[in-house]
Amino acid sequence: MRADRPQDRALARGLGVVLVLSGVVAGAAAFGARGGAVGAGCGGLVAVAGARYAGRRSARRRALLKSPFPERFRVYLREKCDHYDRLSPEWKARFENDLRLFLLEKRITGVEVEVTDELRLLVAASAITLSLGWPDYEWDQVAEVLLYPQEFDRHYHFQGDEAGDDDDVLAGQAAGFGTVILSVPSLLESFEDPDDAFHVGFHEFAHLLDVDQTQFDGIPAGLDEARAREWVKVAERERERLRKGRSVLDPYGEEDPVEFMAVAVEAFFEVPLAMRKGHRELYALLRDYFRQDPAAADDARGLVI
């Protein structure tokens, strides 16, 4: 994430052209040449307003990044976020900047939960861990993150409430329209134990890397055709290994290709050394996709499995 969003400038220019042309056409159709000129002017004014909004967003971002990163946040990340801890100083600084920009612009809402700074940090760290290797990535598809006080069922009832005991229990959920739901106990557990290949934050944000036109297909977005075919072949083989109990991935990945992708992302960041050792093809695909190599970072830390 950057202080100045290139896509904002491009969008403002493109929208300006469209609005001016639309104003010309609509005004001319209704009132002739003079109407076309008025329409062009109105379209231009709307375009200028849009450009100013984008400029204000960039100014807010620049002002935020000029201030020092809060030391108490840094201490908390070192204590709770294993991926942050494995980063070089340069990448830690990038992580901190991306995290602050995420928190500046993304809505995190508690449902019967007090949203503390610590919870906000864990939510943002879950997303930024995945996107850290992509300097221009913005998480534009995230509309809101909802924090629930406990696990829930598919009707959004908490356990013990109404039908809550009758349906599958969920620790989190990501919707194609951009809402992410995270159970607070599951989120805290995810950061408390960084070596169990379970992380609800990574899992749910990984689903949003899969979504295309509000649909999930289990293939990471942005892969070219050849890489997408390779992903499908490797995923099929890995799901068969899951069925046979010969995998470090969470068994939930056997459910379907969509869940497999999210489970694979969890393992990539949670148990990278074991994944590289036992699932080399899958690890290499994710390493190239995320442009990060957490196993190499753990090698540098002297960790072994």
Tens of each residue's pLDDT in the chain, 305 residues? 888 866 555 554 565 566 557 656 766 777 777 765 655 555 455 444 545 555 899 999 999 999 999 999 999 999 999 999 999 999 999 999 999 999 999 999 999 999 999 999 999 999 999 999 999 999 999 999 999 999 999 999 987 665 455 568 999 999 988 999 999 999 999 999 999 999 999 999 999 998 765 678 999 999 999 999 999 999 999 999 999 999 999 999 999 999 999 999 999 999 999 999 999 999 999 999 999 999 999 999 999 88
Q: What is the extent of the structural domain holding 185?
A: 71-300
Residue 86 lies in a domain: yes
Q: Are residues 106 and 137 in the same domain?
A: yes
Q: Are residues 3 and 20 in the same domain?
A: yes
Residue 237 lies in a domain: yes
d(CA 32, CA 186): 63
Q: Are residues 210 and 153 in the same domain?
A: yes
Q: Which two tokens stand for residue 180?
A: 């992410």
d(CA 131, CA 205): 10
Our count of domains for the chain comes to: 2
Residue 305 lies in a domain: no
Domain boundary among 51, 67, 83: 67
Tens digits of per-residue pLDDT, 45-81?
A: 544 454 555 589 999 999 999 999 999 999 999 999 9
Residue 257 lies in a domain: yes
Spell out the SS3 assignment of the chain.
CCCCCHHHHHHHHHHHHHHHHHHHHHHHHHHHHHHHHHHHHHHHHHHHHHHHHHHHHHHHHHHHHHCCCCHHHHHHHHHHCHHHHCCCHHHHHHHHHHHHHHHHHCCEEECCCCCCHHHHHHHHHHHHHHHCCCCCCCCCCCCEEEEECCCECCCCCECCCHHHHCCCCECEEECCCCEEEEEHHHHHHHHHCCCCCCCHHHHHHHHHHHCECCECCCCCCCCCHHHHHHHHHHHHHHHHHHHCCCCCCCHHHHCCHHHHHHHHHHHHHHCHHHHHHHCHHHHHHHHHHHCCCHHHHHHHCCCCC
